[in-house]
Structure 1
Amino acid sequence: MSKLVRVTEQASHYRHLEQMSIGALLENMNREDQQVPAAVQQAIPQIEKLVAAISDKMLAGGRLFYMGAGTSGRLGILDASECPPTYGVPYGLVVGIIAGGDIAITQAVEFAEDNLEQGWADLEKHNISAKDVVVGLAASGTTPYVLGALNVCRQKGITTGCVVCNPGSPIAAACDYPVEVVVGPEFVTGSTRMKSGTAQKLVLNMISTSVMIQLGRVYDNSMVNMQLSNDKLIDRGVKMVLEQLNNPQLSYEEAKELLLQHGSVKKAVDARTVSS
């Protein structure tokens, strides 16, 4: 393992933030944020390997687990929670776990991230097995809660990955498929909810979206398996049905009835295609 460089803890390039005008604060934050996509781009080869590994496991019936503490943990829960409504997969296929439990989603739980054994204990509650993949999320790359869990996973033959923002971290070394997105010092020194959090959000978007496409949950460029949970999504679904069937004799109301009868764009289109 290379020497850990705590880039995420290095001093901000900016001083005396309290003396800046609001405009200057916003301009400087935006200037820093523009570095994030370039850092993510550098990590694409690593992300590609992780996505391929996750896809293989999930196509074989496995699940994806994200785990982290603080901002990282919340981002994992966000990504996991959006997979069922967006892609129509069952809840529990993609799982987000945060140090300190559900209360930590909205409140800081003191010292929860420092427990080296609790991460694995939380995974065991989900009957984790070698069919699954665990992705650790930690800007620092050192969070004990995540590191302890990944170490046990490796011992038990469970595929592991991570998204970290320091190079040469212990968590990256503990993973089969590490992703390192080094975005540099934060605008507010050490506040990894900023650039590091943005980088992790971008990478998680890439991971879950790419995996769901590999699982066949997208057709062309459309969310054909999305849950029809509100009027906006039903309207979007009706338009998808009309576009994909491309039948000028099919009215909006008929397409809507077809969609609601079958419950998803894919099922509606498949049913109409078979009956035609």
Structure 2
Amino acid sequence: MTAPREPRPDLDALATEAYRPELAGIDRLPTLELATLMNAEDATVPAAVAACLPQLAAAIDAAAPRMADGGRLVYAGAGTAGRLGVLDASECPPTFNTAPGTVVGLVAGGPSALVTAVEGAEDDAGLAAADLDELGLTPADTVVGVSASGRTPYAIGAVEHARRLGALTIGLAGNAGSPLGAAAEHRIEVVTGPEVITGSTRLKAGTAQKLVLNMISTITMIRLGKTYGNLMVDVRASNAKLHARARRIVALATGAAQADVEAALTATGGEVKPAILTLLTPVDANEAARLLTDAGGHLRTALARTASAGPQPAP
């Protein structure tokens, strides 16, 4: 399915594409000087993100209740923007024990576009609609269109189609007054300015996108009870490193001896939250699982509801 290509604004009008004549000789710089220059440019990104925090917080506050009710978080973008969305989505299951398909990354051109450019895919707004239809998008879902320029048809098409279906929409762009921002209910425009290499938005613009996507997924998961304080209590112990992390998290949350931590994790099948509950209260693994289900997975809520629970250390 190929939608007609719409004319795009002149590149000269985009801050992300601006040319910096003072950097015309960077290919002649010593490597250390060039690295220092790039590092200084990268240091400006957090401030650009900080300027958008109110808009970011509002978007997260709108998305989290939908996810609590079973909705999904869907990122849609092309090129670097799409790949960053896929990266963020892929890290949610091991970090927060989310079910497959809860956080989804769509990249224009499909999975092959993760490693190879798919010509014309980013210009196809209809392709984005088809990709969302294949997911069976519902009004409970949230779609985040991601585009450095803020004018990529695939990202705009995803947001427009999602909005027609009643889903929550967020537009993450690297230029102010972007068409993507205008198409979405929530506009997050992080203006990082011209790149060291003209138009190479995998640099500062991409870094800003990564920071914002980190916050969208992480803060949403905190709101869903995926953490206890700053501990990843929903971590999925799928390898040796994560098994060690699970043991450490239980120990930090409870102050229990390693032998008791091991026994609790064994009894709960390696699940961290019920293990903590059994160590902080007199309930067994089965009762801990029931209490957590009743509390919607929020460990702090389950602890508060356990009348016999003693003082709870706050991580």
TM-score by length of 1: 0.94
> Which of 182, 194, 207 matches 1:173?
182
Q: Secondary structure at the match of 2:74?
A: strand
- Structure 2 Cα separation of the partners of residues 216 and 7 of structure 1: 39
Gaps of 5+ in 2: 1-8, 285-308, 310-315
> Which of 32, 37, 47 matches 1:38?
47
2:107 is the alignment partner of 1:98: yes
Counterpart mapping for 1:86-125 below 5 A? 86-125=95-134
Counterpart mapping for 1:48-127 below 5 A? 48-127=57-136
Kindly provide the CA deviation profile for residues 180-221 of structure 1, in whole angstroms up to 9, marking residues without a partner as x. 000000000000000000000001111111000000000011
Structure with larger Rg: 2
AA of the residue aligned to 2:235: M
- Structure 2 Cα separation of the partners of residues 232 and 155 of structure 1: 43
> Which of 9, 17, 27 matches 2:17?
9
Q: 159-168 or 256-265: which moved more? A: 256-265
- Structure 2 Cα separation of the partners of residues 11 and 46 of structure 1: 29
- Structure 2 Cα separation of the partners of residues 169 and 153 of structure 1: 18
2:213 is the alignment partner of 1:207: no
Root-mean-square deviation over aligned CA pairs: 1.6
How many residue pairs get aligned? The number is 271
> Which of 262, 265, 277 matches 1:270?
277
AA of the residue aligned to 1:140: S
The higher relative CO (CA closer than 8 Å, separation ≥ 6) is in 1
- Structure 2 Cα separation of the partners of residues 111 and 228 of structure 1: 40
AA of the residue aligned to 1:6: L
Q: Secondary structure at the match of 2:125?
A: coil
Task: Give the deviation of 1:232 after TM superposition.
Answer: 1.9
Kindly provide the CA deviation profile for residues 125-159 of structure 1, in whole angstroms up to 9, marking residues without a partner as x. 11001110100000000001111121122222221
Deviation beyond 4 Å, 4+ runs, structure 1: none
Task: Give the deviation of 1:244 after TM superposition.
Answer: 2.4
Partner of 2:296: none
Structure 1 residues 239 and 156: CA distance shift in structure 2, 3 A: closer
- Structure 1 Cα separation of the partners of residues 180 and 81 of structure 2: 14
- Structure 2 Cα separation of the partners of residues 11 and 80 of structure 1: 33
2:261 is the alignment partner of 1:255: yes
2:74/2:103 contact within 8 Å kept: yes
AA of the residue aligned to 1:124: D
